[in-house]
């Protein structure tokens, strides 16, 4: 679950809606729901916005055809694939999703270089809102592999992220693996708030804090 700082919006994101004609360019969507759901008055359904596939070799064995099939079976109008540091699944996911009437949301999980020699990188999820956002995310991932590798792991420098390089992108905070989540877990609420405000200044209303439902009381 994701929310903007200080509010709980009805529609989680404004993702890219891919037209059923594969020859056409992706067009911006008005909301998370597909046209059938909007016309029938169905309330917003659950949608996976951070999901790894078999192209994230370290932590997932999810295959694209089975993913899209199950998404359609459950009546989910859309799904995002956000593999770690790569977009290898995008074409396959896009085509499979179109076949099953599922809106594909293109994204990626990136790792941010943190201060300190032994600092663990922080996670940030980027979702493409429009074609310009897709171009920006491909540029950032490419730069991470070419310029940002640390012992084989591609990292993004925070300095690479500015208004131009993040245009058309939606950012998710990375939950407990993001810089805000880590600060909260360490009891550093003032630091967490400062970090969140910094991200909000960069992304505006396109930055969302991630909340995970664990099924525990309290």
Could you tell me if residue 218 is inside a domain? no
Both tokens assigned to 10: 């009805």
Both tokens assigned to 28: 């911006």
Q: Give the pLDDT confidence score for residue 206 in this predicted structure.
A: 97
- φ/ψ region of 82 (left if φ > 0, alpha if ψ in -120 to 50, else beta) reads beta
Could you tell me if residue 67 is inside a domain? yes
List of the chain residues with pLDDT < 50 = 1-43
Could you tell me if residue 123 is inside a domain? yes
Q: What CATH number did the domain enclosing 136 receive?
A: 3.20.20.140
What's the pLDDT tens digit per position in 128-171?
Answer: 999 999 999 999 999 999 999 988 899 999 999 999 999 999 99
Q: What is the domain range of residue 189?
A: 2-210
Please count the structural domains in the chain.
1
Please answer whether residues 1 and 8 qualify as being in contact, where contact means their C-beta atoms are separated by less than 8 angstroms.
no
């Amino acid at each position: 679950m994701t929310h903007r700082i200080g509010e709980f919006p009805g529609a989680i994101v404004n993702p890219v809606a891919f037209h059923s004609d594969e020859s056409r360019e992706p067009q911006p969507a008005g909301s998370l729901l597909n046209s059938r759901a909007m016309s029938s008055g169905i309330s917003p359904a659950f949608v996976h916005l951070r999901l790894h596939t078999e192209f994230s070799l370290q932590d997932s064995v999810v295959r694209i055809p089975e993913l899209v099939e199950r998404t359609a079976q459950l009546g989910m109008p859309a799904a995002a694939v956000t593999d770690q540091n790569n977009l290898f699944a995008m074409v396959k996911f896009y085509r499979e999703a179109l076949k099953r009437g599922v809106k594909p949301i293109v994204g990626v999980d990136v790792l941010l270089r943190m201060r300190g020699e032994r600092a663990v990188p922080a996670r940030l999820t980027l979702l493409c809102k429009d074609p310009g956002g897709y171009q920006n995310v491909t540029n950032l991932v490419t730069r991470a592999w070419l310029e940002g590798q640390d012992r084989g792991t591609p990292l993004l420098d925070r300095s690479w992220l500015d208004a131009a390089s993040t245009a058309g992108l939606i950012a998710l905070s990375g939950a407990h693996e993001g810089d805000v989540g880590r600060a909260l877990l360490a009891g550093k609420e003032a630091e967490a708030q400062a970090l969140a405000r910094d991200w909000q200044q960069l992304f505006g209303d396109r930055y969302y804090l991630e909340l995970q439902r664990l099924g525990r009381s309290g």
